[in-house]
Each structure stands twice: as C-alpha cells, then as structure tokens.
Amino acid sequence: MAPTTYGDYPQSMKDRVGHRLPKFTEAEKKLLKDSTDFVGMNYYTSMFAKNINPDPKSPSWTTDSLVDWDSKNVDQYKIGSKPAGGKLDVYSKGLRYLLKYIKDNYGDPEVMITENGYGEDLGEYHNDIEIGTNDHNRKYYLQRHLLSLHQAICDDKVNVTGYFVWSLMDNFEWQDGYKARFGLYYIDFQNNLTRHQKVSGKWFSDFLKPQFPSSKLREEL
C-alpha cells in the first residue's frame, strides 16, 4: 500500500531488497501516489511473526521480510482459539487492529472487507447434511468479527464501506478442493449440488433484515 499511497516503496523495503527491487520513475511515482480507489481486505485469522535469519547469499521474496508466521509465540501462547475441524485460528480482534493500522498509516482510505469467513473440514462427516448445516462455530465467528468491525467503524472511525462473507456456498477452495467448507449454504456434492441453508446462513440473513418494518419505522420517525 505504500506505493499507491505515497508513490514509492517504504525505505525499509529498499534497504532490505536493494538492487533486486525495481525503481519507479518520477512520472510513475506521481501516478501511483494517492491512486487507490479503495482498499480491499481479506481477513480470516492472525498469526505471530517469528524472526528468521536467512542466508544472505540466497535472498528471495519469501525471506525478505525477515519473518516467518506461527500460530504460537515463543512461550507457546496461541493467537486465538481453533475449534475442532476449524481450518484456522479464530482471532477477531486482529480485524479491528488491522483496520486501525491501515487508517493510521495509509491516509485513512475507504476500506471494503472483501472476504471474511470460517472454514471447516468435516472429515468423515463431509457428506452428512445434518452435521454440515449445524455450523454454530461459523455463526459465532461472524458475530465476533462483525462486533470487531463495529468497533473499528464506531470507535476507531475507520472508513469501512462494505463487508462480504466468504462464502455464500461451499465451493472449490484452492489446494483444499471440495474438502473445506466455507459457505453459508451447505452444498450436497452427492445430490445434484443441492443447497441447504446452514445455521450461519439463517442467522446472517436475519441479521441483514431491517430492525423495523417500514411502516413501524415511519411511525418511529
């Protein structure tokens, strides 16, 4: 985000990467500066940064940051909780922290949460519709993250204008294929891709409904 906010890479990046980092011309810097229409952010979990000492003779983009990522710190303290079958640790505070960081460091841009969701591997129950739709952990995940989002908007005054759950339905998830379920709707892969609303889908649908009927709202106003 530094180039699209300030027109150039941060100095720490220049110092670390050196001659391997392409250089912008003055004209390119001018075009890049403040060129962001909005920031799209995908958030699922947080991790601890662990120091690494790479071989200076074999530099690469994977080691340039000088850190590796771990769900536990040096004292074996976990970043969050991970329910049985969950794909990632749940740490909703990280969403708020990251949004506040973006506001404070990159000119308070418009931000949209383009992905936020809970993945699970049902294992032997992968094709069990009853268990697959009874996804209370996903419902709790969304509740906790929406609360953190609310705090970021109302307390930290972050300019968030959109939020998208990943995903509407179970789908093909990169290296996990169809084993990882992220959807608000359960897809029966053995029965013509039939859709079944999950507990999380029902909750989210109710959450999105207006709190007052239109006639009641007019009376309140």
What's the whole-model pTM score?
Answer: 0.91
**What are the tens digits of pLDDT across the range 106-124?**
999 999 999 999 999 999 9
Q: How far apart are CA 120 and CA 179, in angstroms?
A: 8
Residue ranges of domains in the chain: 1-35, 37-220
- The per-residue pLDDT for 211 is 74
- For 48, the enclosing helix (H) or strand (E) is strand 48-51
Among the listed residues 77, 188, 150, 164, the one whose alpha carbon sits nearest the alpha carbon of residue 116: 164
Q: Are 196 and 149 in contact (CB under 8 A)?
A: no
**Hey, how many other C-beta atoms are within 10 angstroms of the C-beta on 39?**
20
**Of the ranges 24-28, 33-37, 79-83, 214-218, which one carries the lowest mean pLDDT score?**
214-218
Average pLDDT, the chain: 93
From the number of C-beta atoms within 10 Å of its C-beta (0-12, 13-18, 19+), residue 213 rates as exposed
- The per-residue pLDDT for 198 is 98
- For 152, the enclosing helix (H) or strand (E) is helix 136-154
Q: How far apart are CA 153 and CA 150, in angstroms?
A: 5
Residue 220 pLDDT grade (very low, low, confident, very high; cuts 50, 70, 90): very low
For 122-139, b/e burial (b = at least 16 CB within 10 A) is beeebeebeebbebebbb
Tell me which of 221 and 213 has the higher pLDDT: 213
Distances (CA, A) of 110 to 40, 106, 153, 177, 179: 9, 10, 11, 33, 35
Among the listed residues 109, 108, 91, 95, the one whose alpha carbon sits nearest the alpha carbon of residue 149: 95
**What are the tens digits of pLDDT across the range 151-183?**
999 999 999 999 999 999 999 998 899 999 999
- Determine the CATH number of domain 37-220: 3.20.20.80
Distances (CA, A) of 102 to 155, 157, 158, 175, 198: 15, 12, 9, 29, 33
- The per-residue pLDDT for 217 is 43
